[in-house]
Amino acid sequence: MSADTIAYLGSPGTYSYQAAISMFPDAEHVGLRTFGEIMETVEAGEHRTAVIPIENSTSGRIPDVHRLMLSTEMAIVREDMVRIEHCLIQAHSGPRPVTDVSAIRKLYSHRQGFLQCSGFIEAHCRDAEQIECVDTATAVRQVAELGDAEAAAIGSSVAAQVFGGVVVERDIADQKNNYTRFLALEKPALDPDYGDADITTLIFQIDHQPGALIEALAVFRDAGINITTLETYTISEETALPTFYIDIGGGLEENAVQAALRALENKARYVKLLGSYVASDVRNASSGFLPVKSVKR
């Protein structure tokens, strides 16, 4: 396998595939089965870039990916926001697709698809058995191969085109402006160029005592830096003390960001830089992701 390939989760037709194509349209793309496999193969040099989802505007962060961020040695080099337009899809061949979705007895999707379409499921096919698949494209493929009029999948219209499914209902997610934020990660460059970066991501850990978080966050206030994302990790062996994932406005080449990070190192048990990169221009109220207020603006 070429080391210049882009690794993503699942198969052609997944939203991860769409993100990989959007970010790297001219590259070769390889679908893998798990987030762990994606990260491991890129770290081993088998692929150049990992494209993974980090959070969704409806269902929140992707826990498995957040956990992997604690241990990875790779750097975030890019982000992209992909609009998630979940569709109800049935088989093209076999019996004619049902027009009454309440007649569906088996519903296939990824767990995120079920979460993001829970309102539609409750209203229209609450009694259907939910069969979890490794990704939404696999769900569509299985339903297309079954040819069962009482089976349907939640996935993208792209997957329906790829695997020969019929879109019965479009845009069934609970939130119509439903976006997933994807990150591209690569092995750190020897001499990275942060000249255009306007967002920086890091993880830091503090003592478990009153005021520790306020003191840590104050370094960004004092430097005039805006915080876009702040997430806490649950307790584990790796995170026995309060541990946080944070996105801040500003690139690493900016003096204010450098000063804030130096100050944070004096307040935190440890600070791990995950990357400094260009923020997506889809960050707005419609996508559900806060726009970056960089210190350079």
Q: Which fold has domain 191-297?
A: Alpha-Beta Plaits (3.30.70)
Matching fold, domains 1-83+178-188 and 87-169: yes
Distance of CA 226 to the CA centre of its chain: 22
Reported as a single tens digit per residue, the pLDDT across 86-110 is 999 999 765 556 667 888 999 999 9
Reported as a single tens digit per residue, the pLDDT across 187-197 is 987 778 888 99
CATH of 1-83+178-188, one of 3.90.550.10, 1.10.3720.10, 3.30.420.250, 3.40.190.10: 3.40.190.10
86 phi and psi angles, rounded to 5 deg = -70, 140
pTM of the complete model beyond 0.75: yes
- Within 3-150, strands assigned E span 6-9, 29-32, 49-56, 60-61, 75-83, 87-91, 106-109, 129-132
Q: Is the pLDDT of residue 146 over 70?
A: yes
- Enumerate the domain spans of the chain: 1-83+178-188, 87-169, 191-297
Q: Is the pLDDT of residue 73 over 70?
A: yes
159 phi and psi angles, rounded to 5 deg = -65, -40
Reported as a single tens digit per residue, the pLDDT across 45-72 is 999 999 999 999 988 999 999 999 999 9
Q: Is the pLDDT of residue 74 over 90?
A: yes
Extract the tokens encoding 120. 């539609």
Q: Return the pLDDT at 297.
A: 47
Q: Which CATH class is domain 87-169?
A: alpha beta
